[in-house]
């Protein structure tokens, strides 16, 4: 995979956009959070071969950049920052995207599943693995603000910080998930901009990157 170094270095990032888990036509195809094909290839300028799992569901095969399907969540998310930032460097100067659980879950018929589809009691062992890793990423990048995309991520961030970093002043703010499954979500980009204005985050995407 060919990835520009500015996307994945370990320089400090003020803002983490905190997502849930891969969608079948986005990150599951490209390995990039909210990784809708055209956004990753044409705006983020990421390319290269993508490996396959040992067993695949016929309806959800990993085709990498050859996948012809689009993912609305990823198209909305990266499309917003393309409009705001013009070039990816203006986003990654201060921000990055992290998915809580980088695994694709599906039913045998290919129906997508998310952690929120399960009972909390059934997920506790997984949370005990994912929460400490999430916290280590926050510490590595010295994150100041977590933008939790959806209520599941907002809850996980709150609980992880309370348990592992109770004395560290990291702000958690909420952003509606861009999924078309969400009710009344046709104007997600407009709503997202209003949220970013309210949190005083929008200003970080209006300047050119530091040379």
* Mean pLDDT for the stretch of residues 37-56: 92
Q: Tell me, what's the pLDDT at 7?
A: 74
DSSP state letters, 69-80: ---HHHHHHHHH
pLDDT at 118 over 70: yes
**Distance between alpha carbon 139 and the CA centroid of its chain, in Å?**
18
| Helix residue ranges, H only, 9-146 | 27-30, 37-38, 72-85, 89-92, 120-141
Q: Tell me, what's the pLDDT at 211?
A: 39
Look up the pTM and report it: 0.92
Q: So where are the chain's domains?
A: 5-24+86-204
Beta strand 112-113 pairing with 105-106? antiparallel
* Mean pLDDT for the stretch of residues 139-161: 97
Beta-carbon contacts of 88 under 8 Å, excluding residues fewer than 6 positions away, are 4, 6, 7, 43, 44, 45, 81
pLDDT at 63 over 60: yes
Q: Using N-to-C axis directions, what is the helix angle for 72-85 and 188-198, rounded to 10°? A: 50
**Mean pLDDT rounded to a whole number for the chain:** 91
Q: Tell me, what's the pLDDT at 8?
A: 67
The DSSP secondary-structure symbol of 41 reads I
Q: Cα–Cα distance between 179 and 186 in angstroms, integer?
A: 9
What CATH number is given for 5-24+86-204 in this structure? 3.40.470.10
Q: Tell me, what's the pLDDT at 32?
A: 94
pLDDT at 157 over 60: yes
Confidence band for 182, pLDDT divided at 50, 70 and 90: confident
């Amino acid at each position: 995979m060919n990835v520009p170094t500015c996307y994945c270095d370990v320089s400090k990032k003020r803002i983490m956009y905190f997502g849930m888990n891969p969608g079948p036509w986005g990150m599951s195809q490209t390995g990039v959070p909210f990784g809708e094909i055209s956004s990753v290839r044409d705006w983020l300028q990421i390319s290269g071969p993508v490996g396959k799992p040992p067993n695949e569901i016929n309806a959800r095969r990993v085709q990498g950049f050859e996948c012809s399907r689009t993912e609305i969540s990823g198209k909305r998310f990266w499309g917003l920052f393309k409009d705001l930032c013009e070039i990816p460097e203006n986003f990654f100067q201060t921000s990055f995207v992290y998915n809580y659980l980088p695994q694709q879950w599906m039913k045998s018929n290919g129906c997508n599943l998310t952690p929120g589809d399960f009972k909390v009691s059934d997920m506790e062992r997984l949370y005990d693995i994912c929460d400490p890793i999430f916290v280590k990423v926050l510490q590595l990048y010295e994150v100041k603000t977590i933008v939790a995309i959806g209520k599941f991520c907002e809850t996980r961030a709150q609980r992880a910080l309370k348990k592992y970093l109770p004395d560290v002043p990291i702000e958690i703010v909420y952003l509606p998930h861009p999924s078309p499954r969400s009710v009344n979500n046709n104007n997600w980009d407009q709503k997202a901009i209003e949220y970013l204005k309210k949190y005083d985050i929008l200003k970080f995407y209006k300047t050119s990157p530091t040379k």
